[in-house]
Amino acid sequence: MRKLLSEYPWVRGKARRASGPVTCHTIMSVSIVSTEAKNIVEVAVGLFFDTDGKVLVAQRPEHVHQGGKWEFPGGKVHADEPIEQALQRELLEELGVQTNSASFLMRCQHEYSDCSVVLHVFRITDYEGNVVGMENQPVAWVYPADLAKYEFPDADRTILDTLLLPDIYAITPSDYKTVDELCRMVSNAIERGISLLQFRNHSIDDATYIQQARALSDLCHGKGARLILNREPSMVEQCGAHGVHLASKYLKSYTKRPLPENYIVAASCHNEQELKLASSLGASFVLISPVKKTASHPHTVPIGWDGFRSLKSGSGLPAYALGGMNLEDCAEARCNGAVGVAMIRGVWCDQDTDLASS
C-alpha cells in the first residue's frame, strides 16, 4: 500500500485525522528581562499538539491585562528564576502537567504602549500528566488554520504565523524537461500533503523562470499550497507567489526586508553571521544546513544535529533542517528545535511511494 504524506503523524501541513492514542507535542515561549526604562514582561508559554494537529489554547480572565483574549497557556517568570524552572512551574500550576524536556524553537518580541514582551519559544518533547485547566480557565483544542477565529494578544502574532508552517518545506528539483512535467510533479506532491513549496532552478533564464513560476502559482493557488520563489524578490508579485527565498550569498545585498510583511521571506543560513543577517531582514524562517551529508555536496562536512541545535539556539528565527533529510528525519528535527525538514530528493525521488493514494 502506498502512503499519503498526511499518514505520517508529524505532517501538519493539512488538517487531518490520525488513528491511535492521542499524544501531544508542546512549544513554550519565554521572555527576558531588560534594564530598559519600559517594563519588560517575562512570560513562559506552552503549546500542546494532539495527533490531529490541534493546538491547545486557554482564555485569559477578564480582570487581567488583555483579559478575555485567548492565549497559549503559561505565565510570568519570577525574578532570578531559571527559564526551564519557570516553564515547568507554570505548566504544572496551570495545566497539571510535569515537563521533562524541551527544545528551543524561536524567539520574538512585541512592544505594547506600557510594556515590552520578548517570547522565547520551545517545543516540549516529553511531559507527564493530563492537560486540565487547573485555574478553571476555559481551554480548547483548535486546528492552527482555525486560530484566526480567536482573538489573541498582539504579542502572539509571530507564534500564530509559525504554527501555520508545515513540517515539510519542499524544494523543486531542476531535472524536469517541460513545465507540464514540473506541474504534474508539484500537483502530485500537493496531493500527498505538501503545502509549502520553493521553486528553485538556477539553470533557466529569468523569462523562462517567470513563465514556469506563473504556472506553478496558478496550480498552488488552486490547491491551497504556498509558493516561494528562489529568485529576485521583485518577481514575487509579478508571478503571484507567496514569498521569496534568499540564498545565503545574497543576504548582504539587502539592508531591509525585501518584501512587505504579508509576504514570506525565507533565507538559507550556514553560520551565525548569516543567521544574524536573516534576523535583521525580518525573515519569516530560515534553513540551516547541511545537517547530514548530501549527494549534491559530497565534500562538505555536515554540521550534524549538535551543530544544528547550536546554531538554532543562537537565533530567534523558526528554522527548517536541510541537507540529506528524509521524511523519517522530521520527528528528530522537531526534537532538535526545528519547525521541520526541507527536502529535494526526499520529496521527488521516492517513486515507489505514490502519495496521492493509500
Q: How far is CA 47 from the centre of its chain?
A: 13
Three-class DSSP category at 352: coil
pLDDT in tens, the chain (358 residues): 434 444 433 344 433 333 333 444 445 544 444 445 678 888 888 888 888 889 899 999 998 888 999 998 888 888 899 878 898 899 999 999 998 888 777 877 888 888 888 887 788 778 899 988 998 899 999 999 999 999 999 999 989 999 999 999 999 999 999 999 999 999 999 999 999 999 999 999 999 999 999 999 999 999 999 999 999 999 999 999 999 999 999 999 999 999 999 999 999 999 999 999 999 999 999 999 999 998 888 889 999 999 999 999 888 899 999 999 999 999 999 989 999 999 998 888 764 454 333 3
CB under 8 Å to 49, separation ≥6 — which residues?
12, 24, 25, 26, 55, 56
Are 79 and 2 contacting, i.e. CB atoms less than 8 angstroms apart?
no
CA distances from 56 to 94, 140, 201 (A): 12, 6, 39
Q: What angle do CA 123, 125, 126 make, to 5 degrees?
A: 135
Which position has the grid cell 499538539? 49
CATH fold of 168-348:
TIM Barrel (3.20.20)
Quick: pLDDT tens for 75-87: 888 889 987 889 8
The burial class, CB within 10 Å (0-12 / 13-18 / 19+), for 19 is exposed
Q: At what angle do helices 206-223 and 179-192 cross, to 10 degrees?
A: 30
Domain boundaries in the chain?
A: 15-157, 168-348
What are the grid coordinates assigned to 120, written together? 522565547
Question: Yes or no: is domain 15-157 CATH 2.30.110.10?
Answer: no
Q: How far is CA 184 from the centre of its chain?
A: 26
Distance (Å, whole) CA 199 – CA 305:
26
- What is the amino acid identity at position 178? T
Give the β-pairing of 25-30 and 115-128. antiparallel
Are 11 and 167 contacting, i.e. CB atoms less than 8 angstroms apart?
yes
Give the β-pairing of 98-111 and 264-269. unpaired
Q: Write down the pTM of the prediction.
A: 0.81
Three-class DSSP category at 217: helix
